[in-house]
Every structure is written in structure tokens, then in C-alpha cells.
A and B are shown apart, each in its own frame.
Chain A
Amino acid sequence: MTTTDLVPALEQEEAADPFTVAGEVFTSRLVLGTGGLPSLEVLEDVVRASGTQLVTVALRRVEAAAGSSMMEVLSSCGVRLLPNTAGCMTAREAVLTAQLSREAFQTDWVKLEVIGDDRTLLPDGVELLDAAEQLVADGFIVLPYTTDDPILGRRLADAGCAAVMPLGSPIGSGLGIRNPHNIALLREQVDVPVVLDAGIGTASDAALAMELGCDAVLLASAVTRARLPVQMALAMRQAVEGGRLARGAGRIPRRWHAEASTSMAGLPDL
């Protein structure tokens, strides 16, 4: 395969097994959170550099909200919006927030977050599953932010969630994927897309998520709080594509000892 064949190789991977959520096909496997950018000015550059087609947004009191300019920027980029329920700590709050987001953003899609406390921002699995069941019954396309517990992931998928989004590590921590084995197990457990959500610190974390079999990566802080957000957005785009290609290419088995790549046949006796 020549270098010029590499882009078609990715396109072939995508054509054979596209990233599809609730019947909608995405050619980008990078989902971008918009929170944490120093200003709205870089939002458009970051979105375009990332190549993302799915962007998370939030709902806040009007006094603290970004204003219509943010929505105009996202609209001009042609991305689908994925409103979140960030900050909700009970199923009741999350369901109401999702219903309000449906009003404001005119979409049934929701990134469901129900956190257990403010310090870890870890998901509360009991409240999360309760909220997911209610929202699925109410016609929402539910993408829950969850722990890396494969069993909870399966329960969420069984409840009718359109995807399952396990954390790599706590939100904004940049600690990467702390339990890769659980992510791979979760991937085996469910038929819906698995989106690695939270904890990504740098490009290698995003590539690892894809190599583990994740269908996509959702990240915000890793790009928005990077010293050069636009450059990091491009890095994440290429990391996701690289990880996806590597997963499809099939990595070599891990060996305890070396295995020479240069043949011993014909080794001169010097």
C-alpha cells in the first residue's frame, strides 16, 4: 500500500462500518464539547479543525448564558447539537433539564449526565439508569455519560440508550484511560456505539480509545484548555483516525521477549 492509498483505506473502514447513532451516520468519530474555551472567537476554528459533526452544548440561566452568537457559530459549522445535562445530581433534575433542552435546542438528542458529587463529577449509576429509562420512554435519543462499569453499560444499552459513553477518567482530569480493560469489556457487552467520554488528556489517549474498540471519542477540556486549542483539535482528529486505522489493521501480539525483524538467514560469519 502506498502513502496515497491511506486516505482511501480510512474511507473503506468507514464505508464498511460507519459510526451510526440512532440511524444517523457520522463520518467524524470525534465528538467535541464546547465548554472551557477562553472565548467564542476560537470556537469556530476549533470546530472546523476537529472535523467534528456532533457538538455538546448546555443550558444555563440567561444571565450566565453565551447568547445567540454561539448558536450562530455552531449553525454555520453545520454540526448536530448534543445538549448535555451537566450539573444534574438526580434523575428528576436530569429529565427536566433534557426536556428544557429539547425546547431550547429543538432536538431529541441528549448527553445524559447525572453526577454523584461535585468533587469527582463521577456518574451516579442508580440515578443515571432511572433517568435514561424515563427519557427513552419520552422519545429522547439518549447518550449517557457513565462509568467504565461494563455491567452498567449493558443495562443502559438494554434500557434503549442510543450509545453508551464510559469515562476514561474524571471529567477534566486529563488522566487518560485508567482502566483500558473495562473499556474493552464494555465494547464487547453492547451492540450500540461506545463513545469514550471524559478524561482524555492528549492525542495518544484518543488513539488508545479507538484501538480499544471504541466507536468515537468525546472530549472537551483536552482541546479547549490546551495552550493551542486549534492545534490540539487537529491532533485529536488525526489521533482518532489513526487509532481507528490501527484497530482495523490489527496490532501485533505482545511478546515477552524480542522477535527479530531482520532475518537470521544468510547472516555472515564474521
Chain B
Amino acid sequence: MTIQVTVNGAPTDVADGATVAVLVADRSSGHDRVAVALNGGVVPRSRWTATALSPGDRLEVLAPTAGG
């Protein structure tokens, strides 16, 4: 059983009951300073394991890069 969410602009199927922590672990290899936005709000790292995804959720999984 999966649900569909949008991750970084792309439709993505995740397991029903998956959490932000699961998604971050899947998407952020090579990055150790990740920040997550869920439906236009910040999900603090301390809340990742307790935050379950719902159908239609919009997530942004972000990491440091160079910038001026």
C-alpha cells in the first residue's frame, strides 16, 4: 500500500505510514545537513520520526550549496 506525495517537485510514491525521517534517509545520501519543508512549513529535525506523510503532501528536501 503506497500513497503519493510530491518531493522536490516530482510525484513520488511512498509507503503508507512512511515518515519524514524515512524519506530523508532515502533521498539525502551525501548530505549531512538537510532541512525539510512540509506543505510550506519547517519540519524540525527533532520531529522527523514523528511526522507521518499524508497523500498529497508537498515536501522540499534541501541541503547546503554554494551561493553568493
> Which residues of A approach B to under 8 Å, CB–CB?
33-37, 40, 43, 56-68, 70-71, 83-84, 86, 96, 99-101, 103-106, 171-172, 220-221, 224
Determine which of A35, A37, A59 lies in contact with B63 in the assembled complex, contact meaning CB atoms within 8 Å: A59
Q: Are A66 and B34 in contact, CB atoms less than 8 angstroms apart? A: no
A146 to chain B, nearest CB (A): 15
B61 touches A96 (CB 8 A): no
A57 to B45, CA, bound (A): 20
CB-based contact A59/B62 at 8 Å: yes
How distant is B21 from chain A, measured CB to nearest CB, in Å?
14
Chain A interface main SS type: mixed
Contact B65–A65 (Cβ < 8 Å): yes
Instruction: List chain A residues, Cβ under 8 A from B50.
Output: none
Chain B residues within an 8 Å CB radius of A59: 35, 62-65
Partner of B42, one of A86, A99, A220: A99
CB pair A104 B62 closer than 8 Å: yes
CB within 8 A of B66: which of A37, A68, A105? A37
Contact pick for B64, options A36, A37, A43, A65, CB 8 Å? A65
B21-33 vs A, CB cutoff 8 Å, 1 = contact: the mask equals 0000001101111
Instruction: Report how far A99 CA is from B60 CA in the complex, Å.
Output: 13
- Of B28, B61, B66, most buried by chain A (CB within 10 Å of CB) is B66
Of the A-B pairs whose beta carbons lie under 8 Å apart in the complex, a sample of 12, sorted by A's number, is: A61-B61, A62-B28, A63-B8, A66-B63, A66-B65, A68-B33, A71-B64, A96-B37, A96-B40, A99-B42, A172-B68, A224-B68
CA distance A70 to B8 in the complex (A): 21
Which 6 pairs of residues, A with B, have the shortest CB-CB distance? A58-B67, A33-B68, A220-B68, A65-B63, A35-B68, A34-B66
Contacts of B64 in A (CB 8 A): 57-59, 65-66, 68, 70-71, 104-105
